Amino acid sequence: MGYSIRKALRWLSIAGVGVLLLAAAASAQQLPSQSKDVHLGVASCAGSTCHGAVTPWKDSNVLQNEYVTWTRQDKHAKAYEVLHNEKSKRIAANLGLPNAHTAKVCLDCHADYPAQEARGRTFQVSDGVGCEACHGGAVRWLGLHVSGTSTHDENVKLGMYPTTDPVKRAELCLSCHFGNETKFVTHRIMGAGHPRMSFELDTFTTIQPAHFVVDADYRKRKKVWNGVQTWAIGQAIQLRDLLDALTSPTRSRDGIFPELVLFDCHACHHPMSNVRWQPRESAKLGPGIVRLNDSNMIMLRIVASHIDPASGTKLRELTIRLHQASTQGPQQTTDAAKEMRTLVGGLVDRFAKHNFERKDVEALLNGVIQEGIKGEFVDYATAEQATMALAAILNAMKNTGLVNDAQFKRMNDALNEAYNATAKDEAYRPEAFVAAMKKLNETIPRS
């Protein structure tokens, strides 16, 4: 995979980079899978003098071993290989596909899969979810990038995707971890055997093997976002995407049925002997009703209620209205979802501009815990989101010095009880999660 800088630059010349440099900067904001920028493949990044060093370079402002980290530690590098295993073969057979590793519906997310005309000579689908799947087709920005003379903003203008921006990162991650108008994980795909989709932006960013170090140089070149702010923005984008799907005439229905992937899986998928339904004030639905997955609505309401109380109150009202509309008909549901979509779109912008300070972090921690104690997280999906939210908040408190090591350990040990309660969705018991919230509440330092 030792592709030299000279060969990379020669390819850029052949591709006509001189003309491409003048292309509109607007294309930089497109998702890498949708942009027309040519993808050169991971080989263009993997040279030992680029990002393919075995160990980090001393006195370099980047690690230089990013490719090695990706190929050795990152599950994205193995995403294509997964399509050859027995489980994927079974899913493909259930869907009536010849195989998974050549099916577009699978490759759209299990590989970097741009249009045919956007694939360079060394590009290989079999590389999996490679560099350009996240950072964008490199044909316009690679030349300036390897010269070492460009700024991050200049690279972005030439087509590099702005992954440091939590709004754009959420849109990118969710394009596969939920879906968008061009690729979508449907209930049929899950029915064929695909695992249930779960995502939270800050958590998934944290567990991603880091191929960068946030030091003084990094902060000089790029903006660093508070983890709580990232979590809040991620919740808003997730809900926005769900509402987009719910109001889409092509994605919201499956024949005479609604698209069931938009609903709470565990409203249906649990043993009949496990009578787990419990009333919930924010839904106002009776038993036996398949309920929309409102986990992001609840998380977002907690944030909005603190940052913009009027929006928090409105979101609570719209959540109830949307649940009620889902029992009335498709048009009523679409109307309610569109109204909520307008509100959520405004919250994305509000959170991106808000400076999440100590009082915000403490208020959100208390808000999530108190909702849990009240029993608002009786459903597994919401308890799962709440657990990831609390992890994001606690880590932010530690990283910003709001708690000392001993305080963090006590709180994190209590949070482990929430992780235990949500470890297996089929074994989830709401009372165990409420107990975990009460235990965590007791560990919060009181000023």
- Residue range 239-257, pLDDT digits in tens: 999 999 999 999 999 999 9
Other beta carbons less than 10 A from residue 249's beta carbon = 8
Q: State if pTM tops 0.75.
A: yes
Lowest mean pLDDT among 12-21, 22-31, 329-338, 362-371: 12-21
pLDDT reading at 13 higher than 50: no
pLDDT reading at 10 higher than 70: no
- Dist CA 146 CA 155 (whole Å): 11
Name the band, by pLDDT with cuts 50, 70 and 90, for residue 18. Answer: very low
Arithmetic mean of pLDDT, 379-401? 95
Tokens 């879906």 map to which residue?
179
Which tokens hold the place of 143? Answer: 């030349």
- Dist CA 414 CA 430 (whole Å): 16
pLDDT of residue 108: 97
Name the band, by pLDDT with cuts 50, 70 and 90, for residue 81. Answer: very high
Arithmetic mean of pLDDT, 272-279? 69
pLDDT of residue 277: 66
Which tokens hold the place of 364? Answer: 């959100």
pLDDT of residue 3: 36
pLDDT of residue 275: 67
pLDDT reading at 272 higher than 70: no
Residues near 390 by beta carbon (within 8 Å), at least 6 away in sequence: 365, 368, 369, 415, 418, 440
pLDDT reading at 379 higher than 60: yes
pLDDT reading at 296 higher than 60: yes
- HSE on the CB side for 366, CA within 13 Å? 11
Which residues is 292 bridged to in the sheet? 263
Domains in the chain: boundaries = 5-162, 220-443
pLDDT reading at 14 higher than 70: no
pLDDT reading at 433 higher than 80: yes
- Higher pLDDT: 107 or 50? It is 107
* Per-chain mean pLDDT for the chain: 90
